[in-house]
């Protein structure tokens, strides 16, 4: 079976998605551009078509498992997006999303700008900035329904990046590996301090992938103190405890 058909079938079986011809064409274009740019700029470690479709596209789309199908988010900020994951695949499935991609590494942010234009996506903003600066910007602070991050940093650091960006009642989704449950347990006080609570930890099984994967889902229940996120570098160098 051709790889792209595999992806379409896996998206249907795992997530109940029926991808349209336009969506399939968009994912194919995304894949082609990523492979081409990767040959020049080393954007991601995963370079083969099958790996891209499973470990980038399908993995990104598993975030849908944490959302209420009857109440899709209207806005999403994806922090440390790299080459656009999970933000752009989610935008392809939920085209009404107002999407902000945050990526401080210029060449990766440049690819995001390129692929957004190439795919003709609307209501997408790419910020080549640090998460700490975005979190203190009134234009972005506490203004999103959903904030996501995928294997960007340790959980206390991620929580400090993400929770300040989400409105009360909004969600944070952190895509994590085998340490997810332990990290969540150890980060509970930090999550509470920043205005969140753990809603659910969902196991994710990707076809052909043996590594454990989880979605750690937080709900924003109170405003985040204005002191957070702290200045650039501190959340990673001196994580909250």
Confidence at residue 151, expressed as pLDDT on a 0 to 100 scale: 75
Query: Torsion angle of alpha carbons 128, 132, 138, 144, nearest 10°?
Result: 80
Bridging pattern class, strands 196-204 and 213-220: antiparallel
144 φ/ψ angles, rounded to the nearest 5 degrees: -115, 150
3-class state of residue 201 by DSSP: strand
Confidence at residue 110, expressed as pLDDT on a 0 to 100 scale: 98
Percent of the chain as helix, strand, coil, to the nearest 5: 45, 20, 35
Q: pTM for the complete prediction?
A: 0.96
Helical ranges in 136-232 per DSSP H: 155-162, 180-186, 188-193
**Closest by CA position to 168, among listed 96, 224, 217:** 224
Contact 130, 232 (CB under 8 A): yes
Confidence at residue 66, expressed as pLDDT on a 0 to 100 scale: 97
Q: Split the chain (241 residues) into runs of 10 and give each run's mean pLDDT.
A: 78 96 96 94 87 96 95 96 97 97 97 98 98 98 97 91 98 96 96 98 95 96 98 96 92
Confidence at residue 45, expressed as pLDDT on a 0 to 100 scale: 86
Confidence at residue 2, expressed as pLDDT on a 0 to 100 scale: 55
Confidence at residue 47, expressed as pLDDT on a 0 to 100 scale: 84
């Amino acid at each position: 079976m051709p790889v792209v058909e595999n992806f379409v079938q896996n998206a249907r079986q795992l997530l109940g998605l029926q991808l349209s011809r336009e969506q399939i064409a968009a994912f194919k274009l995304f894949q082609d551009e990523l492979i081409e740019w990767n040959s020049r700029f080393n954007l991601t470690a995963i370079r083969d078509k099958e790996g891209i479709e499973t470990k980038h596209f399908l993995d990104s789309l598993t975030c849908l498992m944490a959302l209420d199908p009857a109440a899709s988010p209207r806005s999403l900020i994806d922090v440390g997006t790299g080459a656009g994951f999970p933000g752009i695949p989610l935008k392809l499935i939920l085209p009404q999303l107002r999407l902000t991609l945050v990526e401080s590494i210029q060449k990766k942010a440049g690819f995001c700008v390129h692929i957004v234009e190439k795919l003709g996506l609307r209501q997408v903003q790419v910020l080549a900035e640090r998460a700490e600066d975005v979190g203190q910007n009134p234009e972005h602070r506490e203004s999103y329904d959903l904030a996501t991050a995928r294997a960007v940093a340790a959980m206390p650091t991620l929580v400090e990046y993400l929770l300040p960006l989400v409105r009360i009642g909004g969600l944070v989704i952190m895509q994590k590996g085998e340490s997810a449950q332990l990290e969540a347990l150890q980060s509970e006080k930090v999550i509470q301090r920043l205005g969140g609570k753990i809603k659910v930890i969902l196991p994710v099984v990707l076809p052909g992938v043996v590594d454990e994967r989880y979605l750690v889902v937080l709900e924003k229940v109170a405003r985040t103190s204005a002191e957070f996120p702290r200045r650039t570098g501190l959340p990673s160098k001196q994580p909250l405890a």
